[in-house]
Amino acid sequence: MVGYQFMGKAHSHAYRDIPFYFNTEFKPVQKAIAGRKEEAVKQAAEQMGWESYETDW
C-alpha cells in the first residue's frame, strides 16, 4: 500500500473487510505499507495491521 493517511486507512479497512462482503476463499494479507515519514508510517503499520513498512516505495 502506498500512503498511510486518510486513503491508506480507508483502503486498509476495506482489505480487512473483503471476507465479510464477499464469499471468497481468499483472505488478503497486508504485507507492507509505504510513506515518506518513517515514524508516522511505522505507527500506521502497527495501527492498521501491516506486517512491515517502507519509506521508499
DSSP letter at 26?
-
Please count the residues of the chain: 57
**pLDDT at 10 exceeding the cut of 90:** yes
- Record the pTM: 0.84
- How many other C-beta atoms are found inside a 10 Å radius of the C-beta of residue 40? 14
pLDDT tier for residue 26 given thresholds of 50, 70 and 90? confident
The percent of residues in the chain predicted with pLDDT above 70, rounded, is 100
pLDDT score, position 13: 95
Angle at 46 between CA 25 and CA 15, to 5 degrees: 30
pLDDT score, position 43: 97
Q: Which helix (H) or strand (E) holds 18?
A: helix 6-21
Q: Which domains does the chain have, with CATH numbers?
A: 6-54 (3.40.50.720)
**pLDDT at 27 exceeding the cut of 90:** no
- Alpha carbons within 13 angstroms on the beta-carbon side of residue 32 total 8
Q: Which residues contact 9 (CB under 8 A, 6 or more apart)?
A: 44, 48
